[in-house]
Each structure stands twice: as structure tokens, then as C-alpha cells.
Amino acid sequence: MKYAVVVAACAFALTGCASGAKQTSADKSPAGTYRVVLDTTKGRVTMEIDRSLAPHGAQRFYELVKARYFDGSRFYRVVPGFVVQWGAAADPAVTKKWDVTIPDDPVKTSNTRGTVAFAASQQPNSRTTHLFINYGDNSRLDALGFAPIGRVTSGMSAVDHIYAGYGERPDQTLIGERGNAYLSKSFPRLDYIKSARIVGP
């Protein structure tokens, strides 16, 4: 299932896939904040995630990283000046397994450059596994309910250099159905996450 949010009058979509089910988290980290290191094909990116900003989103991201869900995940949508987006697993069977929604979080901090948030549709409680990093000041997303879970604390220069030549061409329905088999064949220059790991408290 593919869906999109239209931001203002632009054709920019912050999308993801969802089954409409709810998931109760079982693997909770006691830390109020935690750090995630993405080892990407453009370099290392460190994020600090703050549970007080968006507890449901922060917990889902923690679970996904612990499960190594993002290993091999492509940055399939790159819009310079706006966002870089990822969130489909390399294996479509893994994507399907995690295609479960989480409750919305209120927006407690603005979508400024370097902040990280989950993509969602216009439907309530529609976040699943797709995230984006803001390239610029996207505070207009605040009123649409995109709640940042944290921010990039180092490696933003690597994020800035993620390959943008394909723009928004990769088809998210095909990504969900075929995973990296589709992306590697049709969009071979996409950058990707080699590994994502929790580091420190």
C-alpha cells in the first residue's frame, strides 16, 4: 500500500507503508536518550535520539536498529534542500514483517536542518519504518504532525552528499514488493546504510 502527504502546494511526499495494525513494544531501552551510528556509503552519521521528544517514534526506531532492519537499506528518495528518505528493508519479507503502525506523537521540536522524523500519511497513527532527515528548515511540516525523534549530531556532510540523481523516481510500491533486487537493478547508484547500531547509553 502506497500513500503520500502533499506538503503545501508541492509534490513532495513523505511516504511509507502501513497495514493499519498497532504494535506494542517489548524491547524498551531504559535510557532517555540514545545514539545511533549509521555506517553509510557516504560515511558515518551519528544521531542522538531523545525519547522525550517523541516516545513512540523513538521506541520504534530503537527496535528497528536493534533488529538490524536498516542494514542494506537504500536512501531511495533524495530531494536537495528538502529531505533524504529511507526505510524499506533490503529483503521485502522483512519490510512486510515490520509493516505495523505506531501511535502518533505530538510535535515538540521543529523540523529544522538535521532533525530526524518518521514519514507518515494523512491518516492518524500511520508511521511504520520510513524516516527522513531534514536538509533545510522544514518547519512547515510541524503543523502536519511530523514529530522529530532526534537529530544528526555528526556526519551531516555525509548526508549532504547522498546521491540525489534519481530524485523521487524509485517506485515505493515496487520497493516494498521487491526490495533491493528492484533498486539495485533499476537505480544502481543509490547510496545506502551498511549498518545501523546503537552506541553508548
Give pLDDT tens digits for 130-177.
Answer: 999 999 999 999 999 999 999 999 999 999 999 999 999 999 999 999
- Domain membership of residue 20 (yes or no) is no
In the predicted structure, residue 28 carries a pLDDT above the cut 70: no
Confirm whether 77 is domain-assigned: yes
How much is the average pLDDT of 81-95?
Answer: 98
Is residue 8 situated within a structural domain?
no
In the prediction, which pLDDT does 200 show? 76
Please state the separation of Cα 137 from the chain's center in Å. Answer: 17
**2 in a structural domain:** no
Query: Would residue 169 count as lying in a domain?
Result: yes
Query: Does residue 102 fall inside a structural domain?
Result: yes
pLDDT at 24: 42
Does pLDDT of 32 surpass 90? yes
Mean pLDDT along residues 102-130: 97
Q: Residue 196: which of 101, 116, 127 has the closest Cα?
A: 116
Please tell me the pTM assigned to this model.
Answer: 0.89
CATH code for position 121: 2.40.100.10
Distance between CA atoms of residues 99 and 135, nearest Å? 26
Chain segment 166-199, per-residue pLDDT in tens: 999 999 999 999 999 999 999 999 999 999 999 9
The residue segments making up the domain with residue 51 are: 33-199
Best CA proximity match to 170, nearest among 88, 71, 50: 88
pLDDT reading at 112 higher than 70:
yes
* DSSP three-state, residue 153: strand
Examine residue 150 and state whether it is found in any structural domain, yes or no.
yes
Confirm whether 61 is domain-assigned: yes
Q: Is the pLDDT of residue 6 over 70?
A: no
Instruction: Count how many domains the chain has.
Output: 1
Residue 4 confidence (pLDDT): 37
In this predicted structure, what is the pLDDT of residue 26? Answer: 47
List alpha helices for the chain, DSSP H.
55-66, 92-97, 156-160, 172-178, 180-186
pLDDT digits (tens, 9 = 90+) for 41-87: 999 999 999 999 999 999 999 999 999 999 999 999 999 999 999 99
